Chains A and B, each alone.
Chain A
Amino acid sequence: MKQFTKLFSELDGTTKTNPKVDALSDYFDKAPEYDKLWTIALLSHRRPKRAVNATRMKEWAAEIAGLPFWLVDESHHVVGDLAETIALILPDHENESSESLTHWMEFIIGLRNLEENERKSEMARAWSMLSRQQRFVFNKLITGGFRMGVSQKLMVRALAAATGIEENLLAHRLMGDWTPASTTFEELVLSEDKDEKDSRPYPFYLAYPLEQPPGELGTPAEWQAEMKWDGIRGQIIVRNQQLFVWSRGEELVTDKYPEYEVLTGFLPDGTVLDGEIMPFRDGLPLPFTLLQKRIGRKKVGPSLLKKVPVIFMAYDLLESGGEDIRQLPLNERRKKLEMVVAEAPEILRLSETVSFDTWEELADVRSDARSRQTEGIMLKNQASAYRVGRKRGDWWKWKVDPLTIDAVMIYAMRGHGRRANLYTDYTFAVRDGENLVPFAKAYSGLTDKEIARVDRFVKQNTLERFGPVRSVRPELVFEIAFEGINKSSRHKSGVALRFPRISRWREDKPASEINTLDDLHRMMDLYG
């Protein structure tokens, strides 16, 4: 636990990537094998099921600290993190545990099979043995939300640095249904998987947002235009009669999209497609929010498969007949892609090109993109190779402008993590006659300086307090930008927004001039 706590503190103490990778690879160098395995499990979201209820933890900690529950609860709101709150209020002592991470993970798993009162005394025992920082980490291991600012990818990079094994191979080895109990570090990380070479994806080529007028790109004939689809970027690989699906996070997601399995028989061996994983029905894209329901699931059940069917919208071919063709010009790859897709079942679709003779014509298509359930236009240079990473010049995304509405802030809540103890999460309302109707929450888009000013306003203009939430004088007006608007029966306003965020603070506008509920409903009729 000492080594792991140190690792945690080091990762927590920096926002820079390189020191994080260094700390991790140093840990992978020195920690015992079984602890390494647990660390990999924790960093790849394989946390054991939660063993202790959060409210119980709070109650027990309050009792040990001799504090009333409400006070611990209030402290929790201020700190923004239960694990940390408990670590801070418990009495300080000199103890520190030298037991391993594995020991404590087994302890945590063991809690699940205990009666509530035994669980309580075991928790008290654990807290009395751990140092303050260890307690925090221990609590985090129980409560989850275990983010150490390390993505799976970063972890894999550090593991690669420590073991000398290539990142893609490691990413593949760490896939699947293992737990620290079912495998060993040796078996999981160090031994070769038989199909790992077959599964290897290509690095994705990513587009830059187009900020200049498209006319500056040259003549329309040099460019291929497609709609910008609203899904998850993915690669489908078929090699040696096996299918693999990778998402852009360089995450192997084959198990999450069993529908694609049928492609194994249709796509020739040595085929790699680049495209978009999209929810789709009756020839039309479904809202992206539906797909989000599938993303979080480990196993996808039959009802979800029915409710959120997916297709693969292919727009590039990276490997054909086992040959890497990324250096061929786009228009040649495109011809091959069209041939591949033509033979395939409906689940594989071709991202059609948009024909246009002038940039004005394309601009018209773009302005209509939202009603076609797309995010705008993709522009790709006809002569370009498929490059690696985000590079300027050949691929551009020309997104539709977001929808906007002016609204007034009516509630504010304290943020979490980096924003703990600051009022950063706001609820906005539009006017409906005499009333203000809340319709969106947003917590990004302001600078730290602006946040500090809004925070001060909230503290000085509180009308009522409900736990961590304050209602405030409806005075501050913000422009809220969003990508889409749908009907919703769950919200008072009757609408649900996609990606609402603050686009700017309208200090020039009084609350009497904000938009109305009718305005919102009109937008829904147009774009919903």
Chain B
Amino acid sequence: MALLEFNENGIFCPPASVYIDPWRPVRNALITHGHADHSRRGHQHYLCTESAAPVIRYRLGEDISLETIKYGEPRVINGVRFSFHPAGHILGSAQIRVEYKGEIWVVSGDYKLENDGISEAFEPVRCHTFISECTFGLPVYNWPDQHDVYADIVRWWKRNREEGKTSVITAYALGKAQRLLRNLPENEGPVFTHGAVENVNEVIRRQGIQLPDTIRVTPEQDRKAYQGALVIATPSALGSPWMKKFRPYSTAMASGWMAIRGTRRRRSADRGFVLSDHADWGGLNQAIEQTGAEKIFVTHGYTSIYGNWLKDQGYDAREVKTDFSGESDDADSTGGDA
């Protein structure tokens, strides 16, 4: 029997009888991070890191049965030793290490290798078997230096301000939005936020994380205040009547998918900035190498292509079908972030 199995409910650990990021309601769920496709509603008991907990409680309800754990702290269940390690994806995100009778597996959840200044920075974890995402598992995805991207965003903002426009940038409400806030210069001008973004900001500020000041967009707000300002909105806001109040405006998206011209052009945004909370091609390969694992399961993303590449590299690689957000580049419909 394998230490971790893939069944219709999710990733299952038979000796401990717990699931990791299950997509159907189960008794015990270990959660890698707070995005909707990984932390779902309806489980009886949740376990996640301390910094992931507030958002999960906010999203799923204060009354859920949720326990927290520190990074690196062991939790033994039925002789199986579990521990959570930083995944660098969003605040509180973790890879989950599972050890039983000398055999070690790691479930990556979603991850990226660069330090974004707000998520706990990714740490490689040695293991025998690694279950990895591969959202961007193609050699065409190579992220530019994030600081160049922030500088580009500021240039775009400045130019819009000179033209008397509002700059509306879309980013996933949990993760990307706060990453932008942390990394854009604070003295550049006022930053407004979509309600969904601001709700998460409030949760995160309450847990003691510093974020620059933001102003929630409300119907009462004087529209003149938007001129020259930056608005951080959710992707679904783009093209909706909610945008009217910002006229005239320029729109941008910050996502890894923006690396491809076709995707950029398909989007209705004026600009696409390549900024992702997932590992790029080089990042995936590096992370996998650093685990020292021989057996790799690839879950969501370009699984068949990336799996074949890993086989070419001598790994025992397998493709697994999961309910994580896979190939979709539509953050709205899946709840996953790119």
B330 neighbours in A (Cβ, 8 Å): 452
Q: Tell me if B312 and A68 are in contact (CB < 8 A).
A: yes
- At the interface, yes or no: A371 with Cβ under 8 Å from chain B? no
Q: Tell me if A67 and B139 are in contact (CB < 8 A).
A: yes
Interface stretch, picked from A258-266, A419-427, A480-488, is A419-427
Select the residue from B271, B327, B329 with max chain A CB neighbours within 10 A: B327
Q: Tell me if A420 and B305 are in contact (CB < 8 A).
A: no
Q: Tell me if A75 and B139 are in contact (CB < 8 A).
A: yes
1/0 per position for B19-53, CB-CB distance to A under 8 A?
00000000000000000000000000000000000
A448 neighbours in B (Cβ, 8 Å): 266
Q: Complex Cα distance A419/B329, Å?
A: 12
In whole Å, how far is A289's beta carbon from the nearest beta carbon of chain B?
29
Q: Tell me if B261 and A84 are in contact (CB < 8 A).
A: yes
A65 neighbours in B (Cβ, 8 Å): 139
> Which of A68, A80, A89, A452 contacts B262, CB < 8 Å?
A80
Q: Tell me if B140 and A85 are in contact (CB < 8 A).
A: yes
**Known contacts A14-B270, A418-B265; A78/B139 CB under 8 A:** no
B271 neighbours in A (Cβ, 8 Å): 13
A68 neighbours in B (Cβ, 8 Å): 309, 312
In whole Å, how far is A297's beta carbon from the nearest beta carbon of chain B?
30
Q: Tell me if B309 and A75 are in contact (CB < 8 A).
A: no
Q: Complex Cα distance A422/B330, Å?
A: 11
1/0 per position for A51-77, CB-CB distance to B under 8 A?
000000000000001011011101100
**Known contacts A13-B271, A71-B305; A417/B262 CB under 8 A:** yes
Q: A residues 2-48 with Cβ under 8 Å of B?
A: 12-15
Q: Tell me if A78 and B333 are in contact (CB < 8 A).
A: no
Select the residue from B139, B265, B270, B304 with max chain A CB neighbours within 10 A: B139
**Known contacts A71-B309, A75-B139; A418/B262 CB under 8 A:** yes
A89 neighbours in B (Cβ, 8 Å): 139-140
Select the residue from A68, A78, A415, A465 with max chain B CB neighbours within 10 A: A78
Q: Tell me if B139 and A422 are in contact (CB < 8 A).
A: no
A465 neighbours in B (Cβ, 8 Å): 304
Q: Complex Cα distance A419/B267, Å?
A: 10
Q: Tell me if B312 and A421 are in contact (CB < 8 A).
A: no
Q: Tell me if B139 and A421 are in contact (CB < 8 A).
A: no
1/0 per position for A495-510, CB-CB distance to B under 8 A?
0000000000000000
Q: Tell me if A422 and B312 are in contact (CB < 8 A).
A: no
- At the interface, yes or no: A92 with Cβ under 8 Å from chain B? yes
Q: Tell me if A88 and B305 are in contact (CB < 8 A).
A: no
Q: Tell me if B138 and A418 are in contact (CB < 8 A).
A: no
Q: Complex Cα distance A344/B214, Å?
A: 77
Q: A residues 84-113 with Cβ under 8 Å of B?
A: 84-85, 88-89, 92
Q: Complex Cα distance A453/B332, Å?
A: 13
| B282, closest chain A residue (CB) | A92
- At the interface, yes or no: B260 with Cβ under 8 Å from chain A? yes
Q: Tell me if B262 and A79 are in contact (CB < 8 A).
A: yes
Q: B residues 121-161 with Cβ under 8 Å of A?
A: 138-142
Q: A residues 377-420 with Cβ under 8 Å of B?
A: 415-420
A456 neighbours in B (Cβ, 8 Å): 328, 333
Q: Complex Cα distance A415/B262, Å?
A: 9
1/0 per position for B298-338, CB-CB distance to A under 8 A?
00001011001100100000000000001111100100000
- At the interface, yes or no: B106 with Cβ under 8 Å from chain A? no
Q: Tell me if A84 and B260 are in contact (CB < 8 A).
A: yes
Q: Complex Cα distance A456/B326, Å?
A: 10
**Known contacts A88-B140, A419-B262; A74/B305 CB under 8 A:** yes
Q: Complex Cα distance A75/B260, Å?
A: 11
- At the interface, yes or no: B259 with Cβ under 8 Å from chain A? yes
1/0 per position for A285-311, CB-CB distance to B under 8 A?
000000000000000000000000000
Q: Complex Cα distance A72/B140, Å?
A: 9
Q: Tell me if B142 and A88 are in contact (CB < 8 A).
A: yes
- At the interface, yes or no: A368 with Cβ under 8 Å from chain B? no
Q: Tell me if B270 and A79 are in contact (CB < 8 A).
A: no
Q: Tell me if A459 and B326 are in contact (CB < 8 A).
A: yes
Select the residue from B260, B261, B312 with max chain A CB neighbours within 10 A: B261
B270 neighbours in A (Cβ, 8 Å): 13-14
- At the interface, yes or no: B286 with Cβ under 8 Å from chain A? no
| A66, closest chain B residue (CB) | B139
Q: Tell me if B262 and A92 are in contact (CB < 8 A).
A: no
Q: Tell me if A79 and B305 are in contact (CB < 8 A).
A: no
**Known contacts A74-B305, A88-B140; A421/B260 CB under 8 A:** yes
B261 neighbours in A (Cβ, 8 Å): 12, 79, 81, 84, 417, 420
B7 neighbours in A (Cβ, 8 Å): none
Q: Complex Cα distance A54/B309, Å?
A: 23
Q: A residues 206-250 with Cβ under 8 Å of B?
A: none
A75 neighbours in B (Cβ, 8 Å): 138-140, 305
- At the interface, yes or no: B263 with Cβ under 8 Å from chain A? yes
Q: Tell me if A421 and B140 are in contact (CB < 8 A).
A: no
A459 neighbours in B (Cβ, 8 Å): 326-327
Q: Complex Cα distance A13/B267, Å?
A: 11
In whole Å, how far is A15's beta carbon from the nearest beta carbon of chain B?
8
A72 neighbours in B (Cβ, 8 Å): 139
> Which of B302, B309, B328 contacts A78, CB < 8 Å?
B302
**Known contacts A13-B270, A452-B333, A456-B328; A78/B140 CB under 8 A:** yes
In whole Å, how far is A444's beta carbon from the nearest beta carbon of chain B?
14
Q: Complex Cα distance A85/B138, Å?
A: 10
Q: Complex Cα distance A78/B262, Å?
A: 10
| A452, closest chain B residue (CB) | B330
Q: Tell me if B262 and A81 are in contact (CB < 8 A).
A: yes
In whole Å, how far is A188's beta carbon from the nearest beta carbon of chain B?
31
In whole Å, how far is B297's beta carbon from the nearest beta carbon of chain A?
19
> Which of A13, A92, A421 contacts B263, CB < 8 Å?
A421
B302 neighbours in A (Cβ, 8 Å): 78
Q: A residues 465-501 with Cβ under 8 Å of B?
A: 465
Q: Complex Cα distance A456/B265, Å?
A: 20
In whole Å, how far is A68's beta carbon from the nearest beta carbon of chain B?
6
A416 neighbours in B (Cβ, 8 Å): 262
B265 neighbours in A (Cβ, 8 Å): 12, 15, 417-418
A421 neighbours in B (Cβ, 8 Å): 260, 262-263, 329
| B313, closest chain A residue (CB) | A68
B260 neighbours in A (Cβ, 8 Å): 78-79, 84, 88, 420-421
Q: Complex Cα distance A232/B305, Å?
A: 46
| B138, closest chain A residue (CB) | A75
A74 neighbours in B (Cβ, 8 Å): 138, 305
Q: Complex Cα distance A13/B270, Å?
A: 7
In whole Å, how far is B300's beta carbon from the nearest beta carbon of chain A?
11
B263 neighbours in A (Cβ, 8 Å): 420-421
Q: Tell me if B266 and A422 are in contact (CB < 8 A).
A: yes
**Known contacts A421-B329, A456-B328; A71/B262 CB under 8 A:** no
Q: Complex Cα distance A92/B333, Å?
A: 33
What 3 A-B pairs come out closest when comparing CB atoms?
Answer: A420-B262, A88-B140, A418-B265
Given contacts A78-B302, A421-B260, 11 further A-B contacts (CB under 8 A): A12-B261, A71-B308, A92-B142, A418-B262, A419-B262, A420-B260, A420-B263, A420-B266, A422-B266, A452-B330, A459-B327
Selected A-B contacts with CB under 8 Å, 25 pairs: A12-B261, A12-B265, A14-B270, A65-B139, A71-B312, A74-B138, A75-B140, A78-B140, A78-B260, A79-B140, A79-B261, A88-B139, A88-B141, A88-B142, A88-B259, A89-B139, A416-B262, A417-B262, A418-B265, A420-B262, A420-B263, A421-B329, A452-B333, A456-B333, A465-B304
User: Which residues of B pack against A, CB within 8 Å?
Assistant: 138-142, 259-263, 265-266, 270-271, 302, 304-305, 308-309, 312, 326-330, 333
